Amino acid sequence: MFEEIRQIICEFLEVEPETITEETDLVKDLSCDSLDIITMITNVEELIGRTISEEELVQVRTVGDMVRLVENNK
């Protein structure tokens, strides 16, 4: 699942895959704003076929958080 999410992030933010790890902070390391995160989460929702709640969304800070969120909601 990490690879799929990394691909979404790389395509959206136009960054190299090597720069993305599970520890990568979406705001601090990738300079994402809330709209960027919502857009990426929308792409992740399409991947998993499920809507992610606002309560779940506010917990996402790192790429690893996003991966765990998806894995827990398969």
For the chain, the structural domain boundaries read: 2-72
Strand partners, 62: 25
Nearest of 61, 16, 72, 65 to residue 34 by alpha carbon: 61
Cβ(1)–Cβ(70) under 8 Å?
Answer: yes
74 pLDDT more than 80? no
- The model's pLDDT over 10-54, given as tens digits with 9 standing for 90+, comes to 999 999 999 999 999 999 999 999 899 889 989 988 988 888 888
Token digits of residue 4: 């799929």
Beta-carbon contacts of 52 under 8 Å, excluding residues fewer than 6 positions away, are 41, 44, 45, 69, 73
Could you say which architecture CATH assigns to the domain 2-72? Orthogonal Bundle (1.10)
pTM summary value:
0.87
| Residue for token pair 């090597």 | 18
- Is 56 or 12 the better-scoring residue by pLDDT? 12
